[in-house]
Amino acid sequence: MDENTNNLLKQTKDFAAQCIKDEAQALLELIPQLDEHFEKAVELMFNCKGKIIVTGVGKSGHIGAKIAATLSSTGTPAFFINPLDVYHGDLGVMTPDDVVLALSNSGQTDELLRFLPMVLHMKVPVVSISRNAHSLLAKYSTTHILCSVKKEACPLNLAPTSSTTAALAMGDALAIALMKVRKFKPKDFAQFHPGGELGKRLLTTAADVMRSDNLPIIPKEMHLGDAIIHVSKGKLGLGVSLENEQVVGLITDGDIRRAMEKWQAQFFDKTVSDIMTTNPKTVAPSTKITEIQRIMHQYKIHTVLVVDEANHLLGIVDHYSHDLVRQGKKI
Q: Where in the chain is the domain with CATH 3.10.580.10?
A: 206-326
Q: Report which listed range, 78-82, 119-123, 154-158, is most confident.
A: 154-158
Sheet with 99-103: strands ordered across? 78-81, 52-56, 99-103, 126-130, 143-146
Residue range 47-57, pLDDT digits in tens = 999 999 999 99
Judged against a pLDDT cut of 80, whether residue 186 lies above it is answered with no
One-letter amino acid for residue 126 of the chain: V
Who wins on pLDDT, 122 or 25?
25
What CATH number was assigned to the domain covering residues 206-326? 3.10.580.10
End-to-end CA distance of the chain: 57
Q: Where in the chain is the domain with CATH 3.40.50.10490?
A: 3-184
**CA distances for 305 relative to 212, 301, 330, angstroms:** 10, 11, 18
- Residue 47 CA to residue 68 CA, distance in Å, equals 17
What pLDDT score was predicted for residue 90? 58
Beta strand pairing status for 313-318 and 99-103?
Answer: unpaired
Banded pLDDT at 324 (limits 50, 70, 90) = very low
What is the sign, positive or negative, of the torsion defined by CA atoms of 89, 93, 98, 99? negative
What is the sign, positive or negative, of the torsion defined by CA atoms of 267, 269, 272, 278? negative
- Residue 113 CA to residue 190 CA, distance in Å, equals 38
**CA distances for 186 relative to 73, 75, 252, angstroms:** 11, 11, 33
Judged against a pLDDT cut of 70, whether residue 151 lies above it is answered with yes
Mean pLDDT over the full length of the chain:
88
Residue range 267-305, pLDDT digits in tens = 989 999 999 999 999 999 999 888 888 898 898 888 899
- Residue 237 CA to residue 250 CA, distance in Å, equals 11
What's the mean pLDDT in 35-45? 98
- Residue 315 CA to residue 144 CA, distance in Å, equals 57
- The secondary structure of the chain, three-state, reads CCHHHHHHHCCHHHHHHHHHHHHHHHHHCCHHHCCHHHHHHHHHHHCCCCCEEEEECCHHHHHHHHHHHHHHHCCCCEEEECHHHHHHCHHHHCCCCCEEEEECCCCCCHHHHHHHHHHHHCCCCEEEEECCCCCHHHHCCCEEEECCCCCCCCCCCCCCCHHHHHHHHHHHHHHHHHHHHHCCCHHHHHHHCCCCHHHHHHHCEHHHHCECCCCCECCCCCEHHHHHHHHHHHCCCEEEEEECCEEEEEEEHHHHHHHHHHHHHHHHHCEHHHHCECCCCEECCCCEHHHHHHHHHHHCCCEEEEECCCCEEEEEEEHHHHHHHHCCCCC
| Phi, psi (deg, nearest 5) at residue 175 | -65, -45
- Residue 246 CA to residue 225 CA, distance in Å, equals 24
- Residue 260 CA to residue 152 CA, distance in Å, equals 70
- Residue 212 CA to residue 205 CA, distance in Å, equals 14
Judged against a pLDDT cut of 50, whether residue 327 lies above it is answered with no
User: What kind of architecture, by CATH, is found in domain 3-184?
Assistant: 3-Layer(aba) Sandwich (3.40)
Banded pLDDT at 318 (limits 50, 70, 90) = confident
Burial class (CB in 10 A: 0-12, 13-18, 19+), 196: middle
